[in-house]
Structure 1
Amino acid sequence: MTTHQGSGPAVSHQARSTTGRYTYRAKAPRPQTADHTDHATLAHALGAHRQLLSHATSAIRTLTAARNELIAQAIEDGLTIATVSAATGENMKAVRTIALAYDDLHPSGLPRTVHLPALKQKSDELRAAERHRARITERREALIVMALRNQVCDDLELASLTGLTADHIRRSTRGIARPA
Structure 2
Amino acid sequence: MPAHTGAAPTVSLQPRPAAGRYAYRATASRQQPSHCGERGEHGEHGEHAKLAHALRVHRQLLSHAASAIRTLSAARNELIAQAIEDGITPATVSAVTGENVKAVRVIALAYDDLHPSGLPRSARLSGLQAKSDELRAAETRRDHITGRREALIVTALRNQVCDDLELASLTGLTPDHIRRAGRGIART
Same fold? TM cut 0.5 = yes
2:31 paired residue number: 28
> Does residue 114 of structure 2 align to residue 105 of structure 1?
yes
1:73 paired residue number: 82
2: CA distance, partners of 1:121 / 1:73: 15
Alpha-carbon distance change, 118 to 41 in structure 1, aligned in 2, over 3 angstroms:
same
1:147 paired residue number: 156
- Identical-residue share of aligned pairs (%): 71
Which segments of 5 or more consecutive residues in structure 2 lack a partner in the other structure?
14-27, 34-39
> Does residue 125 of structure 2 align to residue 135 of structure 1?
no
2: CA distance, partners of 1:171 / 1:47: 20
1:167 paired residue number: 176
2: CA distance, partners of 1:134 / 1:44: 20
- Within the candidate set 63, 69, 73, 2:72 is matched to 63
CA drift of 1:143 comes to 0.2
Q: Retained in 1: the 8 A contact 2:7–2:31?
A: no
| Residue identity matched to 2:151 | A
Alpha-carbon distance change, 121 to 26 in structure 1, aligned in 2, over 3 angstroms:
closer
RMSD: 2.6
CA drift of 1:107 comes to 0.8
CA drift of 1:171 comes to 1.5
Once the two structures are superposed, residues 153-173 of structure 1 have per-residue CA deviations (whole angstroms, 9 ceiling, x without a partner) of: 010000000000101111222
Q: Retained in 1: the 8 A contact 2:58–2:149?
A: yes
CA drift of 1:113 comes to 2.2
CA drift of 1:51 comes to 0.3
Number of aligned residues: 166
CA drift of 1:112 comes to 2.1
| Residue identity matched to 1:125 | E
1:6 paired residue number: none
| Residue identity matched to 1:151 | Q
2: CA distance, partners of 1:121 / 1:14: 57
| Residue identity matched to 2:178 | I
